[in-house]
Structure 1
Amino acid sequence: MTKIYFNSHASADLYASYNFSDEYMGLYLHIDSLIEVDAVYKFILKNSTGTQEIKDEIEYQFPPHADFGWGCPNFVLKFDVLSATNKFIQNGFVVVDIDVSLWVTYSYPLVTSPILPVAQLLYESQKYSDFTFDVEEKEIKVHKCILGVASPVFDRMFNTNCIEARENRSAIKEFDFQTVEISVKLIYGFEILHNDTDTNVVLDLYRFAHQYEIKASLNAINKWFHSLSMSKNTVWMLISFSFLYDMSYLKQECLDFLNENKEYAASFDGYEDINPEIIKEVFRFVGSKYQQI
């Protein structure tokens, strides 16, 4: 384990872990800190002759006191690692290099912790609002100082000489009114996500947060996914979504659920709408598990 000090009040404990499934070797980074930590890290596996290299780069925001690791569940085939021909094993060990970049943002907690009630009052009253979203012929009044801190995309828009910045309004056509309204409320600190929140609504919120790079919202939604109970009605929708947005944790949860409930892998509504490559990977995963029985 390695300890990193950001300043006299903030530090983080870093450690890596691995696991072997029936088919793959997975690699994960764990960060335990009192504050949110943004991490960009790369796992690198080289053989002893330097002729082969396997690597994967990940970007993730670790929440405070994270009790889970984030990484690559299918980093490399177990067969490839253990094969003597590939020479990944050196003196009885498999050596993996980890290149990690970390940073913390102190401005965000100042916005979302001490003044949350004030932010919500500002949103509800619309007092001092200085920007407007036009969505489906309706208006949503917001405050640039709050959205600019939450989203680098909005921050750039507010500080350039574009027509939106000059007119202090922007038309959003990619999302419906409900998605934009709830997404904005999430930025202002409203408690939006609950166990009974509709999955389709959450997926739309994730799309909005991803497009506008709202890390705090993405983090909150990822926590919601971690507590989600998988079902036959949602698993194929979620696994397609996880492939589209490269959400390794959610993808693995879906694969495990389909492996435990093979009848949902063999027959489901909307078969023709699923990417064939996703269906192939599910069948490969479930098939490999079946051969081990």
Structure 2
Amino acid sequence: MTIKIEGVLVVEKEMPKKGETFGDNRDALGLGLWNQEENKDITITADGKEVTAHKLVLAARSPVFAAMFESGMKETKENKVEIKDFSHDLVAAAIKLCYHHSLVTDITLNNKMALLQFFDKYDIQPLKRI
């Protein structure tokens, strides 16, 4: 007897609250870092709106960001990056996805396509599977 099942399994988790103990949760680092506003050291601007992040997280996900931060470019000195070719909402979603997939929900097909373009431009390989 063979049973074939096709579909998508979705697991919902609550996001940990700031300062919460995470135990053995492997996802805790990204979520914990995202919740620590005071330690974020780079500001990403798009459409005149800002998103803050950790250089280390972005550099770990993207060799493009890593090269930008290591090169001594204006962005590194000023701790600001302006992204002109993507909307603020898309940039914010992409930055959140660098931390953890649960930070962005309800991604439409159009947004997935735009995120794929962002991930391609900034060479964020692991997130291209979303």
TM-score bracket for this pair, using the shorter chain length: 0.7 to 0.9
1:223-242 paired onto structure 2 within 5 Å? none
Give the one of 70, 73, 84 matched to 1:159. 70
Normalising by structure 2, we get a TM-score of 0.74
Q: Does 1:187 align with 2:98?
A: yes
Task: Write the distance in 2 (CA, Å) between the matches of 1:119 and 1:126.
Answer: 13
Q: Distance in 2 between matches of 1:199 and 1:212?
A: 20
Preserved CA contact (<8 Å) 1:123 1:141 = no
Give the 5 Å matches for 1:91-240.
116-191=27-102, 197-218=107-128, 220-221=129-130
Amino acid at match of 2:117: R
The number of aligned residues is 106
Give deviations 1:68-89, integer Å, cap 9, x for gaps. xxxxxxxxxxxxxxxxxxxxxx
Answer whether contact 2:96 2:104 (CA < 8 A) is retained. Answer: no
Deviation of residue 193 (structure 1)? 7.1
Judge conservation of contact 1:152–1:212 (CA < 8 Å) in 2: yes
Question: 1:180 aligns to what SS in structure 2?
Answer: helix
| CA spacing shift, 1:190–1:164, aligned 2, 3 Å | same
**Which has more radius of gyration?**
1
Runs of 4+ in 1 over 3 A off after TM superposition: none
Return the offset for 1:136: 1.3
Gaps of 5+ in 2: 1-24
Matches within 5 A, 1:61-100: none
3-state SS, counterpart of residue 102 of structure 2: coil
- Please report how far the alpha carbon of residue 121 of structure 1 lies from its aligned counterpart in structure 2 after TM superposition: 2.6
Change (3 A) 1:141 1:193: closer
The structure that is strand-richer by fraction is 1
Amino acid in structure 2 at the alignment position of 1:121? G
Aligned-pair distance for 1:192? 6.0
- Select the structure that is richer in helix: 2
Pairwise CA distance, 1:119: 1.9
1:196-239 CA-partner distances (Å, limit 9, x unpaired): 63110100100000000001111x23xxxxxxxxxxxxxxxxxx
Match of 2:11 in 1: none
Mapped to 1, the partners of 2:77 and 2:124 lie a distance apart of 23
1:116·1:188 contact (CA, 8 Å) conserved in 2? no
